[in-house]
Structure 1
């Protein structure tokens, strides 16, 4: 009797899901991809594609039942992680406590959880309109974010009260729930810590943490690169990992990736900015794979099908980094001129924009031209490239 072929639902069908899709197919699974954009590249690699919004969880569940899936994986999206966990719970598959995923995917619930469980958190308020804001307990500068979005969408900084209403309205326009969080900005002497972690059976198996760089001017809220490993002092790194372990245990997160964003405040204390219930976007998992040899996509697949993960000892190549090439102006994308390649080599080029595509500035992701995984001749050259991107990558916009 022929063994029935297993099926996995992968949501959404983004470009950074392609490795996961191909791996699942290599392992003999029928891959069903699902999101509300039939042009997403992942659909062209899967076996079956469905045009359903990740916010329409009931329809997703119905589709999962109809196709009798054996596993589900969201990989790199918060919205997808919530939907995937609901699907897994409904089909009695491998899942996390829903409250854990819901809290980690919501900036509001996440901040409330930190405060309730003795984790350090910046002061914050959650509002649905400008008139609800009370600035008496908040100190400038402040950060405004939609509570339910990622990828720097709608993020604004407040250095002065003038123009505050417009900034709040801008952030609200990106929120599905029409809700924003306003929190004190965490000053730090270090780069923001950024990377991915893997949890299986409630145990932190792996973490690869780096330094995250942000742009200037119009890109000051936008990440532009991550280098590995993080350069924070080892005692602070150990403290951060201990706090991450305590978070996993306290919230009850059992299986999955965690995208880590943290800062060290002026007192040397750990402040978690976000701990997303998924792996990082913009090909951070691929950068980690190149830098230390751990195949994060494979680990995500093993988590989805409930297979034990084994991670051998590894070293990090600190000359390998992720570079997010962004445009500072809107228009139509023409090309990228790359100079001085004697100083580095491009290991992977994930082109986001094609010639003639519209480029927009201010929405978090509309200005991304390409994501590169790069190996420089030295760590110093890596930093030089990041600090002076235009000297190496010249984006031509019409």
Structure 2
């Protein structure tokens, strides 16, 4: 059995920790949040930031580890590659992971290699960002260059919204860099997928639909549904472009989280390709929908295990994850769940309680809990996921002033 470091121990990062314990591995959790629940599942935990590459490397040497996992975290992925490369552990090239995890580098890579890419620039000063946004003369997205979980991301519809959006993005950027990019008008849903790569080959990819809550900001994913609405032709196009991306970047093994859109003209745009598993319970729902356990494969790949058994598997049934959240700041009074939703709950994990302060949903940091749902058919799934506020909502009262 192996000795494994897991970078991050948040609620969304506990599935591979649980799997590793059950498989008999020695589990070591690392992050600088001692209250994270994953630490309680580990054999040992250490208070080191997941973005402190040299600090994690020193710890890894001291503990004589056999593998390192960055699950559902773009900021931690370069650290896992850095440590893996330095210690000769199973890992992807550090430069490859840096290119995928950093939004500025990824946009440059897409442009240099002939992929469609939105017009974007990266800034360290709000005034220059304002000038670029005005030059675009159309809606744009403002986001941190090096964050994850949709933290600090805003859609800007006019110049007056740019200063506030820039400040939010800057607050979530470790490097102080902010990306401003044109908004691509998509056809249908934004598409998400968790994929798995073996020896540079795209061996598995399960496409899904992203759902948002327009009453919050309409950007942050509030749910993911399976199967996707993509046509067979669009799926083939997406997988062909993904394989070319793998070839060009040199990504060799492990999980990828892909976000893309198609335009009305049929053009494909990659928005993000994260060198790690997706958040929002994507691997867990994928396991229900296809029977393929990407959590297991991720852990075993980190130990150099043979993952060649993984293969394309179609979705069976209609499944979704839902991120429970509030639509306003305040104090949580109760979580109202309709009978329609209760009948479809497969798993539920609510960690907010009445009386807790909550914030309007703007990123993964504002999550109140999660659910996995199963539906009867595609029509029912899309209708409920697109209108979840009619079926489930957090009742919030204003916070009392001090």
Give the shorter-chain TM-score range: over 0.9
Alignment-derived partner of residue 240 in structure 1: 238
Q: Are 1:77 and 2:98 counterparts? A: no
Q: Point out the more displaced range, 82-91 or 365-374.
A: 365-374
Alignment-derived partner of residue 328 in structure 1: 327
Alignment-derived partner of residue 168 in structure 2: 170
CA distance in 2, matches of 1:342, 1:194: 23
How many residues align? The count is: 394
Q: Are 1:200 and 2:211 counterparts? A: no
For the Cα contact (< 8 Å) 2:326–2:361, is it kept in 1?
no
Displacement of 1:83: 0.9
Aligned equivalent of 2:156, options 138, 155, 158? 158
Alignment-derived partner of residue 147 in structure 2: 149
Corresponding residue SS for 1:218: coil
RMSD of equivalent CA atoms: 1.7
Alignment-derived partner of residue 140 in structure 1: 138
Deviations 1:21-70 (A, max 9, x none): 22222332210001011111111111001111112221111111111111
Deviations 1:76-111 (A, max 9, x none): 101111111111112111121111100100000000
Alignment-derived partner of residue 256 in structure 2: 258
Corresponding residue SS for 1:217: coil
For the Cα contact (< 8 Å) 1:210–1:226, is it kept in 2?
yes
For the Cα contact (< 8 Å) 1:352–1:370, is it kept in 2?
yes
For the Cα contact (< 8 Å) 2:143–2:169, is it kept in 1?
yes
Matching of residues 81-96 of structure 1 within 5 Å: 81-96=77-92
Displacement of 1:236: 1.5
Alignment-derived partner of residue 378 in structure 1: 377
CA distance 1:123–1:57, shift in 2 (3 Å): same
CA distance in 1, matches of 2:93, 2:337: 47
CA distance in 2, matches of 1:277, 1:159: 30
Q: Are 1:121 and 2:117 counterparts? A: yes
For the Cα contact (< 8 Å) 2:154–2:217, is it kept in 1?
no
Alignment-derived partner of residue 364 in structure 2: 365
CA distance in 1, matches of 2:269, 2:123: 22
Deviations 1:347-384 (A, max 9, x none): 11122423433211264124322211101222222222
Aligned equivalent of 2:98, options 95, 99, 102? 102
Displacement of 1:139: 3.7
CA distance in 1, matches of 2:260, 2:311: 26
Alignment-derived partner of residue 56 in structure 1: 52
CA distance in 2, matches of 1:6, 1:369: 34
For the Cα contact (< 8 Å) 2:191–2:261, is it kept in 1?
yes
Aligned equivalent of 1:268, options 266, 269, 276? 266
Q: Are 1:191 and 2:184 counterparts? A: no
Q: Are 1:346 and 2:345 counterparts? A: yes
Q: Point out the more displaced range, 374-383 or 204-213.
A: 374-383
Corresponding residue SS for 2:76: helix
Corresponding residue SS for 2:75: helix
Q: Point out the more displaced range, 316-325 or 38-47.
A: 316-325
CA distance 1:328–1:196, shift in 2 (3 Å): same
TM-score (norm 1): 0.94
CA distance in 2, matches of 1:80, 1:104: 12
Q: Are 1:46 and 2:42 counterparts? A: yes
Consecutive unaligned residues in structure 1, runs of 5 or more? none
Q: Point out the more displaced range, 388-397 or 83-92.
A: 388-397
Consecutive unaligned residues in structure 2, runs of 5 or more? 398-402
Displacement of 1:166: 2.7
Alignment-derived partner of residue 67 in structure 1: 63
Alignment-derived partner of residue 400 in structure 2: none
CA distance in 2, matches of 1:215, 1:354: 22
CA distance in 1, matches of 2:198, 2:91: 11
Alignment-derived partner of residue 11 in structure 2: 15
TM-score (norm 2): 0.93
